[in-house]
Homo-oligomer: A and B are copies of this chain.
Amino acid sequence: MTVQLPRKELFDIPAGVIYLDGNSLGPLPATVSAHVTDVIEHQWGAQLIRAWNESDWMGQPARVGDRIARLIGAPAGSVVMGDTLSIKVYQALAASLELRPDRRIILSDTGNFPTDLYMAEGLLRTLDGDHELRVVDPENVEHCIDESVAVVMLTQVDYRSGRLHDMQRLTALTQEAGAISLWDLAHSAGALPVELTATQCEFAVGCTYKYLNGGPGSPAFIYVRPDLIQRIQPALSGWMGHDAPFAFEPDYRPAPSVQRMRVGTPPVIQMSALEAALDAWEGVDMQAIRAASIALSERFILEVDQRCPALTLASPRDPQSRGSQVSFTCQHGYAIMQALIAQGVIGDFRAPNIIRFGITPLYLDETDIISAVDILQEVLDNERWKQPQFQVKREVT
């Protein structure tokens, strides 16, 4: 049974807000607060330590991972939750390099989110000093994949422009060159159909507080292609990845499954928010999400083109080359976004001059899109962004 979109009734979005920042932090699903209260009061509070068994806290990272797996075209048992995306990138990269011990290059692109590149830097410093992180322009990635490359690490959707990599094609090129393919799905999971099994990439990682609406700091996920699991010796070999965590053996012995990618004690309360949030995805067809996302995005671009000449589209014009966000460059982008937010249209700004709008068909419809452009036009036409309060920069922009 496929559900109808949007599902606004499943979200607590404040009155007067058109939320176009679900690509950064998804809004609050309506069932989350009660579920977290239940976990706190009736599991932690009443069951105390017994909740690890009685409420199956131990099984939560795999149980939630299976629900994410469905959304990214992966089989049950291939995804596990925990830590942050940065940590998961580190784990996947370290494993990739171990799978290609004779190669020395991590290939990535300038469209990758900075923390992926930073984590690679840290790993390479920790390693022997022989490896190299090579960062090229997104359009040059395919020309730089050769037999010196150990791993190609890419974020499928560029966080600034929304530019979408052809995952199938780049993975095939990577594997033809004998390299490992590692995909960051931060802006893909819940945004568009991903078919990990079909793509055959070795690793994928992602976060769950964007399109999946898990809440601020919701844990990350990692996918390992099932045939590889037993060949990977985790660099971050924590007790929760041990085959028998409560045997307290002196030496690390990895679990036979993807559970070996677990590290420390899972954030049970935080993950409970995600677990409830995922209910909003039950019965949702990712192809329907994609179709709605494209329809809404196309309308948004069309309206802006016609009514807001100060903005220049920074996303690919072809919807097939775009993720589920629309970005524009414009002068005074920071102040314009602040003025928009003050009027209830919440998008965000990315330095130096990009304003971004996330398109999330779970809780947005065409009326929202038209209203958002009405307000955007009004802010621009009446130069509301020139008001002094919109010029003050804050830490998180």
Contacts and interface: CB of A to CB of B under 8 A. Distances in A.
Interface of A: 12, 14, 17, 19, 21, 24-25, 27-28, 32-33, 36-37, 40-41, 44-46, 48-53, 57-58, 83-87, 90, 94, 110, 113-115, 117-119, 121-123, 125-128, 135, 207, 209, 215-220, 233-240, 242, 246-252, 263-271, 273, 341, 346, 348, 350-351, 394-397
B119 A14 contact: no
21 contacts: A17-B48, A25-B44, A44-B216, A52-B395, A53-B396, A58-B396, A84-B238, A85-B265, A86-B236, A87-B87, A118-B238, A122-B252, A123-B126, A125-B233, A127-B127, A216-B265, A217-B269, A246-B351, A267-B267, A267-B270, A269-B270
A264 B14 CA distance: 28
B40 A33 contact: yes
Contacts of A267: 216-219, 267, 270
Nearest to A128: B128
Nearest to A234: B122
B217 A251 contact: no
Given A14-B45, A53-B394, A117-B251, 17 more contacts: A14-B48, A25-B44, A28-B45, A33-B37, A84-B265, A86-B239, A86-B264, A115-B240, A119-B236, A121-B237, A123-B235, A209-B265, A215-B268, A216-B268, A248-B350, A267-B267, A269-B269
A113 B240 CA distance: 13
Contacts of A119: 236-238
Nearest to A45: B28
A115 B48 CA distance: 23
A135 B12 CA distance: 53
Contacts of A216: 44, 51-52, 57, 265-269
A221 to B, nearest CB: 13
Nearest to A272: B269
A9 to B, nearest CB: 15
Contacts of A238: 84, 86-87, 115, 118-119
Contact of A36 (B40, B246, B250, B350): B40
A246 to B, nearest CB: 5
A58 B396 CA distance: 8
A40 to B, nearest CB: 5
A347 to B, nearest CB: 9
A237 B68 CA distance: 27
Given A118-B252, A246-B396, A397-B246, A44 B215 contact: yes
6 closest pairs, A vs B, by CB?
A84-B264, A122-B237, A115-B239, A86-B238, A217-B267, A86-B264
Contacts of A57: 216
A248 B159 CA distance: 11
A68 to B, nearest CB: 17
Contacts of A265: 84-85, 207, 209, 216-217
B40 A25 contact: no
A236 B263 CA distance: 14
Contacts of A242: 114, 118
A218 B87 CA distance: 17
A112 to B, nearest CB: 9
A271 B238 CA distance: 21
Contacts of A251: 117-118, 121
Given A118-B242, A216-B268, A250-B135, A33 B41 contact: yes
